[in-house]
Amino acid sequence: MARVSGSSYLFHSLLLISSLIVASQTLVSSRALTRLSIEKGLSWNYYFLQCPKLERIVRKHLEDVFENDSGQAPGLLRLFFHDCFADGCDASILLGDGDNDEKKHPANIGLREEAIQTIEDLRILIYKQCLPVVSCSDIIVLAAREAVRQLGGPDFDVPLGRKDKKTWNASAPDNLPAPFFRTGDLLEAFGARNFDASEVVALSGAHTYGRTHCSSLVNRTTEAEPPIDPSFNNTLIATCPTPNTDTTLNLDLRTPMKFDNMYYINLLNRQGVFTSDQDLASNDQTKEIVNQFASDQNEFFDTFSDAFVKVSQIDVITDRLRQGQGEIRDKCFFPNNKSKSSSVAERVAELVAEI
Ligand code: HEM
């Protein structure tokens, strides 16, 4: 029997791996593949060989988590937005001791600690099955996608392959939009990151579930514009007589724990909680889009999914972008020991990804 030479063996192995990767691409929805561009180093099937069960592990664990505490779903979606929009999807929001870090910034008021802990719990579960090959930033993105899907929202693919940042920047959340923004400010803040009006209206639709603290209701009950339904105004004042009142209020008064298009129906009824929400229904550049999403949930879901994928790629660190600035964290709350070189598992993961 002919002996297979080392190089021939390597060649056939690589051929097999490439075929598997190509085959796996066909599992990703053609819509995502054809319509959306992705950053260098990210791919739709990044962990196909290193951690094939990744998405199932995340999905299953979050089914259990949301069954006990559905509020973690909006908590995880907000965590994702605040990690990405502040200064890139790099899990820097998880770093620091709570004194002078991104979590402590006023824009991050109300981030749910349980949701933050869930990301680390997922990392531990994933580590047990796949070794340390999956980044905390990818886990945040996958968890947020599940937080949308499992509460009734759209199901969609997300590109993976982000690395985690080694440092944090306590003032990065300055970039986050504020609830007292009028639509002009909002479009400017998102425009700086290349998002257009319909993407801004769709992303704001994340306020279709979850809660707010009274301190975030700045000026909504005292200013004439944008308009407010009088009885809704009374509800806001009764629940939050002062900004310091220690209670929370649902963001969507109709279906508070469902990811649907009721948010837009609320806006048409002048029952948006934040100024930044309600003003979308009055502004010339956005009011028609609000009407469209209120009457067509599928259109909202499609625009939201694509915009989510776009947010998930803001300033990412990958094998091919900003090399050396990222790592796969051993624990989501701490950068790796600086003196430690890449683990073998990490190197193998990078090589496979490069192939
Ligand atoms: C458009 C500009 C936005 C502003 C001004 C804004 C502001 C806020 C504020 C002030 C809260 C309440 C925080 C609290 O007091 O607990 C909140 C909650 C929330 N935001 Fe936004 N946000 C915006 C966009 C987004 C986007 C793009 C997403 C996700 C894609 C998002 C997801 C959420 C979720 C899910 C909650 C509820 C969190 C929970 O229940 O724990 N927001 N947002």
Provide the β-strand partners of residue 43.
Answer: 160
User: Is there a single domain that holds both residue 211 and residue 267?
Assistant: yes
Atom in ligand 1 nearest the alpha carbon of residue 85? 27
Q: What is the pLDDT of residue 337?
A: 85
Rounded (10°) angle between helices 197-204 and 183-191 = 110
Q: Is residue 326 part of a domain?
A: yes
Q: In percent, how much of the chain has pLDDT > 90?
A: 81
pLDDT in tens, 156-180: 999 999 999 999 999 999 999 999 9
Q: Is residue 4 part of a domain?
A: no
* Res. 5: pLDDT tops 60: no
Q: Is residue 13 part of a domain?
A: no
User: Is there a single domain that holds both residue 129 and residue 77?
Assistant: yes
Q: Is residue 187 part of a domain?
A: yes
Provide the β-strand partners of residue 249.
Answer: 212
pLDDT in tens, 111-147: 999 999 999 999 999 999 999 999 999 999 999 999 9
User: Is there a single domain that holds both residue 336 and residue 235?
Assistant: no
Task: Provide CB contacts within 8 A for 270, sequence distance 6+.
Answer: 226, 227, 228, 229, 232, 278, 281
CATH of the domain at 124: 1.10.520.10
* Structural domain span for residue 152: 37-175+312-354
* Res. 105: pLDDT tops 80: yes
User: Is there a single domain that holds both residue 281 and residue 203?
Assistant: yes
User: Is there a single domain that holds both residue 99 and residue 206?
Assistant: no
Atom in ligand 1 nearest the alpha carbon of residue 77? 35
User: Is there a single domain that holds both residue 167 and residue 218?
Assistant: no
Question: In angstroms, what is the span from residue 332 Cα to ligand 1's centroid?
Answer: 23
Sign of CA dihedral 97, 101, 105, 108: negative
**Choosing from 12, 61, 82, 105, which is the catalytic residue?**
82
Q: Does ligand 1 have an atom closer than 6 angstroms to the CB of 177?
A: yes
Instruction: State which of 65, 70, 72, 81 you would mutate to test the pocket of ligand 1, scoring each by most atoms of that ligand within 8 A of its C-beta.
Output: 81
Q: Does ligand 1 have an atom closer than 6 angstroms to the CB of 212?
A: yes
Q: Is 12 a catalytic residue?
A: no
User: Is there a single domain that holds both residue 222 and residue 290?
Assistant: yes
Residue 282, CB half-sphere, CA atoms under 13 Å: how many?
17
Q: How many domains does the chain have?
A: 2
Q: Is residue 92 part of a domain?
A: yes
Q: Does ligand 1 have an atom closer than 6 angstroms to the CB of 276?
A: yes
User: Is there a single domain that holds both residue 55 and residue 169?
Assistant: yes
Q: Does ligand 1 have an atom closer than 6 angstroms to the CB of 186?
A: yes
User: Is there a single domain that holds both residue 206 and residue 89?
Assistant: no
Q: Is residue 47 part of a domain?
A: yes
Measured CA to CA, the distance from residue 336 to residue 318 in angstroms comes to 17
Which residue is closest in CA terms to ligand 1's atom 13? 212
Question: In angstroms, what is the span from residue 350 Cα to ligand 1's centroid?
Answer: 34
pLDDT in tens, 170-216: 999 999 999 999 999 999 999 999 999 999 999 999 999 999 999 99
CATH of the domain at 229: 1.10.420.10
Q: What is the pLDDT of residue 342?
A: 54
Q: Is residue 61 part of a domain?
A: yes
